[in-house]
Structure 1
């Protein structure tokens, strides 16, 4: 046997089992993932100062309620498309929502914006509640605020599309 053949054989005997094991391992991990888009039923978002939520949305009931600049309560039906839901689900997965604690509360006064986010699945539910001034883990707070801004943006875009 030549040296070249020995190197190819050695490389294949290491690489092929590693690739096969990786495919086997990750296919089981993906199959048993607790939060799959196929099982995604809807989301709910609430935001406001303290526990007084001025802005609410539920994708299951399609009810969107918020206060405009004149402090008038506006109620409307907003339906998120499947693409919007997929985008939000993937953004949550990208930011690691499933590993976040349920409550990330900071200041106990009611002067701080508070956000409530709920993802409903067939088998599970993930709920987080976060204050804008949460300072125990800055990276976690920033990721949560990014997700909330993304969800709000998707809802606002869908509402604008349905107005026109």
Structure 2
């Protein structure tokens, strides 16, 4: 596994999006991006995390961020969670293993067929600058370790207001 380089370019990747179209990351755009990779429908912690993100959605958008969320789940599972929890941010599906590797994510095998039917990515949270480079890279090898979204937003507002560079580049 190659870890993403803080301050380095985000790979150009696309994912099919619920409701049609696609989510694209990498490359320049007008806004910052909060990009969250979640484990999938089988993960209760992911559902709590994304429900917390939904409650903060306007705060992130007011700070200048677009939000994109993706998992390896197929469309039906992703749609079922969106419907059940009322998430209104863009949700991608069918994250491939090659894309997981491109993002430096940890990959897990299901513990049983009851968990899920495919390999999946462990959590990743990325703050991406408008120029398409990584500002924040937070990778986890399990469901219990993720950045607190309130702290992350507060730190990102400070970073943007003070034009701070990516840290941890060495």
Above 0.5 in TM-score? no
Higher strand share: 1
TM-score, normalised relative to structure 1? 0.28
Higher helix share: 1
Q: Which has the higher contact order (CA 8 A, sep 6+)?
A: 2
